Structure 1
Amino acid sequence: MLVETPFRLKMTGGDADRHMFQAYDGYTALAGFSLTLSLVTNYVETGEIRHRGNFEGRGLVKARPIEEGSVVADFVVKLAKASVLGMVGVSETAASRLLVDLTKRTIDRNLGNQTDAASPELQMLEEGRDTRGDLEALVAATEPSVKQTHNVIGFGAQSLDIYGGTKKLGNYNPSTKAYVSGSYLDKNIREKNVSVASFNVNTGSGGAYDFELKRVIPISVNKDTLSSAKSILTWGIDQYANTTGGLVALRYQTILALDDTVKKYIVIDASIA
Structure 2
Amino acid sequence: MPDMASFELKLRGGLAERHIMEGFDGYNALAGAAYTLSLVANYVETGVIRYKGQFIGRHIVLAEPIAQGSILARFKVLLTGDAEQVFDIPDADSENLLYGLVRRVVQRNFGLPAEPINAETEALLEDRAGEVEELVLAVEPSLRRAHEAIGPSATSMEWTGGFSTMGTLDPATKEYIKASIPERIPMTQDVTVRGFYGNTGRGLIYDPTIDRNISISMRKETLAAIGRVFSYGLDQYLNRTGNTIRIEFTRLLSSDGRPKHYVITGARATRMLTPSRPV
TM-score band (shorter)?
over 0.9
CA offset digits 1:222-256 (Å, max 9, x no partner):
22211112111011000010011111111101000
Correspondence 1:239-250 to 2 at 5 A: 239-250=236-247
1:259 is aligned to 2:256: yes
1:211 aligns with one of 208, 222, 241: 208
Correspondence 1:53-202 to 2 at 5 A: 53-83=53-83, 84-86=86-88, 94-128=93-127, 131-202=128-199
Is contact 2:89–2:123 with CA below 8 Å preserved after alignment? no
Match of 1:43, SS? Answer: helix
CA offset digits 1:144-196 (Å, max 9, x no partner):
11111011101311100001012221100001111001221001111111000
**What is the CA–CA distance in structure 2 between the aligned matches of 1:143 and 1:14, rounded to whole Å?**
25
Is contact 1:198–1:208 with CA below 8 Å preserved after alignment? yes
**What is the CA–CA distance in structure 2 between the aligned matches of 1:182 and 1:132, rounded to whole Å?**
24
Alpha-carbon offset, residue 115 of structure 1: 2.2
**What is the CA–CA distance in structure 1 between the aligned matches of 2:264 and 2:227, rounded to whole Å?**
11
| Amino acid corresponding to residue 267 of structure 1 in structure 2 | I
Is contact 1:220–1:266 with CA below 8 Å preserved after alignment? yes
After the TM superposition, which of the residue ranges 17-26 and 78-87 deviates more from structure 2?
78-87
Alpha-carbon offset, residue 52 of structure 1: 1.7
**What is the CA–CA distance in structure 2 between the aligned matches of 1:87 and 1:208, rounded to whole Å?**
23
Is contact 1:12–1:70 with CA below 8 Å preserved after alignment? yes
**What is the CA–CA distance in structure 1 between the aligned matches of 2:140 and 2:68, rounded to whole Å?**
29
**What is the CA–CA distance in structure 2 between the aligned matches of 1:87 and 1:232, rounded to whole Å?**
27
Match of 1:156, SS? Answer: coil
Q: Who is 2:22 aligned against?
A: 22
**What is the CA–CA distance in structure 1 between the aligned matches of 2:226 and 2:31, rounded to whole Å?**
36
**What is the CA–CA distance in structure 2 between the aligned matches of 1:109 and 1:214, rounded to whole Å?**
15
Alpha-carbon offset, residue 87 of structure 1: 6.2
What stretches of structure 1 of length at least 5 have no aligned partner?
Answer: none
| Amino acid corresponding to residue 226 of structure 2 in structure 1 | A
TM-score (normalizing by structure 2): 0.93
CA offset digits 1:23-48 (Å, max 9, x no partner):
11111101111111111101110000
**What is the CA–CA distance in structure 1 between the aligned matches of 2:220 and 2:193, rounded to whole Å?**
19
| Amino acid corresponding to residue 193 of structure 2 in structure 1 | V
Match of 1:203, SS? Answer: coil
What stretches of structure 2 of length at least 5 have no aligned partner?
Answer: 271-279
Q: Who is 2:269 aligned against?
A: 272
Alpha-carbon offset, residue 51 of structure 1: 2.1
Alpha-carbon offset, residue 116 of structure 1: 1.7
| Amino acid corresponding to residue 68 of structure 1 in structure 2 | Q
Match of 1:105, SS? Answer: helix
**What is the CA–CA distance in structure 2 between the aligned matches of 1:51 and 1:221, rounded to whole Å?**
20
Q: Who is 1:39 aligned against?
A: 39
| Runs of 4 or more consecutive aligned structure 1 residues displaced over 2 Å after TM superposition | 82-88
Alpha-carbon offset, residue 86 of structure 1: 2.8
| Amino acid corresponding to residue 120 of structure 1 in structure 2 | A
| Amino acid corresponding to residue 69 of structure 1 in structure 2 | G
| Amino acid corresponding to residue 87 of structure 2 in structure 1 | L
| Amino acid corresponding to residue 217 of structure 1 in structure 2 | I
Alpha-carbon offset, residue 205 of structure 1: 1.4
